[in-house]
Amino acid sequence: MVPGSFRGVAFDLDGTLLRSDHSVSPEMRSLCSALTGRGLLLTLISSRPPRSVEQIADSLELQGPWAALNGAVVFSSGRRILDRSPLPEATVEQILARYGRDERVSLNLYAGFDWIVQAADRRVRAEADIVGFAPTVDAGFASRPVTEKLLMITDEGHCDNARLAKELAALDDGIAVARSKDNYIEMTRSRIDKGRALAFIAERRGLSAREMVAVGDGENDIPMLKACGLPIAMGHSPQALKQVAELVVGSNDDSSLTDALSRIFGAAAAR
């Protein structure tokens, strides 16, 4: 790893840039400030909704662009949407009709900067605590707009999560299904993923994806790590992600990622 070989970093958020309490460590904040001060591109590419990504980007004083909803929405400061890829409307209707009344799951609909649910149940409330804002409640999704992502949340440890993900993927080859957590099943338009988002963002800044380092910890990060020049996986990542990584670091609660990036970019993080 030669300092100066890469022009920026793309971060996944939960389990990667963010610690378990959903905060950014002081050391990582210092490093991000040092790298942006050198003109490097630091971007966020997350499954989180745009409003949540925006909050974190603003707190780190990042210039963007950034990607939300697994890459289905790419946006910049001022909530200017640069690229959006809605799901096939017929497939959305099919999923809502099939699972909308299933108490084993909580369905979440994302449209631009809007997050819509049928009811603020315990799973939805837990997600709201994580992302930092509450959704709009619309029983039956009566006023549903064009949708970029559906999120299905089940209970943790639910034994049928893998089967359910396969079942959803089989509904329509026009959608991509990925799990960002064991109990989070995310649906976006086919061929819309974090790898595509990384390429789009890099190009907007006059770079290629191969000039970027990318870091993640979930199945949905695999396309992003495959697209970048230096893929890094967190130590708790699934084996499928570790297999595409060139470097595996430790926990999001220790300094291993900060230390690795400091070595890669020849920057010292403040302690």
59 phi and psi, to 5 degrees? -65, -25
Percent of the chain clearing pLDDT 90 (strictly above): 76
Give dist(CA 254, CA 151) in Å, integer: 29
pLDDT at 85: 95
Give the pLDDT band (50/70/90) at residue 162.
confident
Q: What is the pLDDT of residue 4?
A: 59
19 with 234: CB under 8 angstroms?
Answer: no
3-state secondary structure 187-206: EEECCCCHHHHHHHHHHHCC
Q: E strands of 182-257, at which residues?
A: 184-189, 212-216, 230-233, 247-248
Assign 78 to helix, strand or coil.
Answer: helix
pLDDT tens digits, one per residue of 65-96: 999 999 999 999 999 999 999 999 999 999 99
**pLDDT, tens digit, 9 for 90 and up, residues 132-155:** 999 999 988 887 789 999 999 998
Domains and CATH numbers, the chain: 8-83+192-265 (3.40.50.1000), 89-189 (3.30.1240.10)
Could you tell me the two tokens for 91?
A: 């497939």
- Rounded Cα distance between 212 and 12, Å, is 13
pTM for this model (two decimals): 0.89
